[in-house]
A and B are shown apart, each in its own frame.
Chain A
Amino acid sequence: MKNLLVRHALAAAAVAVLAASMAAHGLDIEVRRHAPLIVLKAAYSGSEPVAFAAVKIYAPGTSPAAYQSGNADASGRFAFVPDREGEWRAVVDDELGHREERLIPVSREFIEGGFEPPGASAPARLPLWVRAAAGLALIFGASGVLYGIKARRRTGQ
């Protein structure tokens, strides 16, 4: 049993290292500001562009109608020109189940002169390997706790 667990742990570690060295599969939107344009670049996590993804841009406010809609180019890029300050919303959809929304704060300064407010860029994410390791730690930890509880119940009986 001990050998089995050691072998399984080694196999899991090998898979974790392999997986963490590869890119994740989600859809990311990178936001670049080139006044008066905002350029979105959609990619499957890593670097594979989401070519010709359907994109909808919603202006600040509650209007359900899109301010602009269309498709990204072959490199996954899409540009629009915001005409007012506030929180814009971009929705990128590859129509194959991958979909991502991004809120884009736009200041009056950007509309008028291209100033990019501090913190307007996408929030930083933890490195992929850290998130993968955190997930494994949670699963192994929860399994250990559950095993302990069930084993204690059995011993108690």
Chain B
Amino acid sequence: MHIADGIFPVPVAAAANIAALGAASLLGRRIGTADIPKTGLMASALFLASLLHFPFAGTSIHLGLFGLAGILLGRTAFPAVFIALLLQALLFQHGGLLAIGLNTLNMGLGALAAALIWRVPGLPAAARAFAAGFAGILVPAVLMSLEFLSAGYGQKVLFLAGVYSAVAALEGALTVSAVVFLRKTEPALLENPP
């Protein structure tokens, strides 16, 4: 899921870094004082999620939790994703500092897509949660595959999107269970994200 340094040319990576930093800064201003603990906790979960990995179809895949982030944080999930990716690059060498913009745009847009899906009226909460969790992973996977295709990189990118479809289904199920749990214990967390 993480694009490593050195795959895309420096100008492309630098432009993506500027765009991601600008978007994270703008959306970060929307985080209210009362939402800071929730945002910090979700950033921690995103930071740790990539440690929960497992081998699948000859590669290594991991959870993202971008759908859950979108549901709980709304638009402010984007800066949380940026912080998590920054620390993953620095501490786990996942992705890289040069590619952090591309990774933030891919995964942050997944979280924003999930936030939008969660707000669709007229659907049961479980259906919205599943779709949000599914899109939270699949949107970044599709974006990454398209970027790889445009760069002429590798021969396995379509396979990658297929692999992440399976992960997206798992994430959808996990997101449903998290939402069901939160509705029973702390329903206020699911209401009116920024």
A132–B51 touching, CB < 8 Å: yes
Residue of B37, B45, B62 near A25 (CB, 8 A) is B62
A97–B60 touching, CB < 8 Å: no
Q: How far is the CA of A114 from the CA of B160 in the complex (A)?
A: 41
A to B contact number (C-beta, < 8 Å): 125
A24–B33 touching, CB < 8 Å: no
Residue of A18, A48, A147 near B60 (CB, 8 A) is A48
Shortest CB-to-CB span from B100 to chain A, Å, is 14
A12–B41 touching, CB < 8 Å: yes
Known A-B contacts A25-B60, A95-B153; A140 and B40 likewise in contact (beta carbons under 8 Å): yes
- B169 contact set on A, CB distance < 8 A: none
Q: Is B170 an interface residue (CB 8 A)?
A: no
Among A64-72, A80-88, A98-106, the stretch that binds chain B is A98-106
A98–B60 touching, CB < 8 Å: yes
- A98 contact set on B, CB distance < 8 A: 2, 4, 59-60
Q: Is B154 an interface residue (CB 8 A)?
A: yes
Q: How far is the CA of A142 from the CA of B83 in the complex (A)?
A: 10
Bin the interface of chain B by size. Answer: 35 or more
Known A-B contacts A24-B50, A25-B92, A147-B37; A95 and B87 likewise in contact (beta carbons under 8 Å): no
CB under 8 Å from chain B, chain A span 6-38:
7-8, 12, 15-16, 18-20, 22-27
Interface-centre pick from A18, A44, A99, A147 (highest chain B CB count, 10 A): A99
Q: Is A120 an interface residue (CB 8 A)?
A: no
Q: How far is the CA of A147 from the CA of B153 in the complex (A)?
A: 43
Cβ-closest chain B residue relative to A138: B87
- B186 contact set on A, CB distance < 8 A: 4, 7
A150–B48 touching, CB < 8 Å: no
Q: Is B11 an interface residue (CB 8 A)?
A: no
Known A-B contacts A131-B91, A138-B87; A5 and B37 likewise in contact (beta carbons under 8 Å): yes
- B51 contact set on A, CB distance < 8 A: 19-20, 22-25, 128, 132
Binding site for A on B (CB under 8 A): 1-7, 33, 36-37, 39-41, 43-45, 47-53, 55, 58-60, 62, 83, 87-88, 91-94, 144, 148, 153-157, 159-160, 163, 185-186
Can you name 20 extra interface pairs (CB under 8 A) apart from A25-B94, A140-B44? A15-B45, A15-B48, A16-B44, A19-B49, A22-B51, A23-B51, A25-B51, A25-B53, A25-B92, A91-B6, A93-B154, A97-B1, A97-B7, A97-B144, A98-B59, A131-B92, A134-B91, A136-B44, A138-B87, A143-B36
